[in-house]
Amino acid sequence: MRWRRGRGKGMIEDRRGEGSGSPLGELSRLGGSFRLPRSRGGSPLGIGSILVFLLVAGVVWYLSSRGDDGSAPDPAEDELADFVGFVVEDVQTFWQTDFVEAGRTYQVTKLVLFDGQTETACGLGTEETGPFYCPGDRKVYIDLGFFRELAEGFGAPGDFAQAYVIAHEFGHHVQTLLGTERRVREAQERSPGQANELSVRMELQADCLAGVWASSAQEERLLEVGDLEEGLAAAASVGDDRIQRSAGERVDPETWTHGSAAQRKQWFTEGFEGGEVRSCDTFGASI
């Protein structure tokens, strides 16, 4: 993807290195997230392990104290943060224009970069959640480490794979502004048995909205050879069926909340080829 450094910094809230967050419990009322399976484990800390822990903590503190801002700089991660800023600005500039043409007002929001965990209006956000949108504060949250896992663990490398993830989360912001998120939550409360299906339709619509933005990026000549394929690979890699298989679970469509790999690719393509919001009626279509 063609991009330039220095754009979008005003739309980024950088909390990396803060280690903020308190045990507020599970995130609730997410507009959408990429939930990936991770290994879980741990053992009680004995005297020996506590001493090792303190030694490691001391080394980490010493190394992190070398930078002027209290952290050792990471050029690769800083470049990735710049890339995220560029995409965030381009995505929101597109939606601002689209909303104006439709006689609406788009509310610019921020993407929060964090590592480890951070507080949100939806509860405590952690790296285990993956990227997510919180309707409560209308912000997108991303731990940059997710992109490494997306590439290495799920076979979806490339900068446009990362751009797809960002555009998907801002698709949830668009849904909130249009009232779609509220209507879906109300429908889920009225009909709990349809909660998962409604969630899938909302997630697929966010995929489609990401495709609409991707279409505009192509018109801007930001896309390079292979970018579209990277986006499609990323959409497929986070399909519920693939995630269940990778976690060693039985593939069970009744438990899906985001859609299958094929569905996610299909609706990203629908948005890309249609290039308009009206291409994204996942609630009226057969999925």
Reduced to 3 states (helix: H, G, I; strand: E, B; else coil), residue 44 is coil
* Tokens 């991009």 sit on residue: 3
Nearest 10 degrees: CA dihedral of 245, 258, 163, 173? -160
Length, in residues, of the chain: 287
Contacts of 64 (CB under 8 A, 6+ apart): 17, 70, 71, 72
Q: Whole-model pTM? A: 0.84
Rounded to a whole number of angstroms, the CA Rg of the chain reads: 19
Please report which confidence band the pLDDT of residue 74 belongs to, taking 50, 70 and 90 as the band edges.
confident
Nearest residue to 88 (alpha-carbon basis) of 129, 135, 125, 139 = 139
Nearest 10 degrees: CA dihedral of 258, 265, 178, 108? 100
Q: Is residue 138 pLDDT above 70, yes or no?
A: yes
Nearest residue to 81 (alpha-carbon basis) of 12, 19, 129 = 12
Q: Report the distance separating Cα 216 and Cα 220, nearest Å.
A: 6
Please report which confidence band the pLDDT of residue 43 belongs to, taking 50, 70 and 90 as the band edges.
very low
CA angle in degrees (0–180, nearest 5) for 255-259-216: 155
Between 16-30, 172-186, 223-237, 261-275, the lowest mean confidence (pLDDT) is in 16-30
Q: Which two tokens stand for residue 108?
A: 């610019």
Q: Report the distance separating Cα 108 and Cα 95, nearest Å.
A: 9
What percent of the chain is predicted at pLDDT more than 90? 74
Q: Which two tokens stand for residue 190?
A: 């009225």
Please report which confidence band the pLDDT of residue 7 belongs to, taking 50, 70 and 90 as the band edges.
confident
Question: What are residue 49's phi and psi, to 5 degrees?
Answer: -70, -30
pLDDT at 32: 74
- DSSP structural state of residue 154: T
Amino acid of residue 66: R
31 sits in the region (left: phi over 0; alpha: psi -120 to 50; else beta) called alpha
Contacts of 53 (CB under 8 A, 6+ apart): 45
Q: Report the distance separating Cα 171 and Cα 246, nearest Å.
A: 26
Q: Is residue 193 pLDDT above 50, yes or no?
A: yes
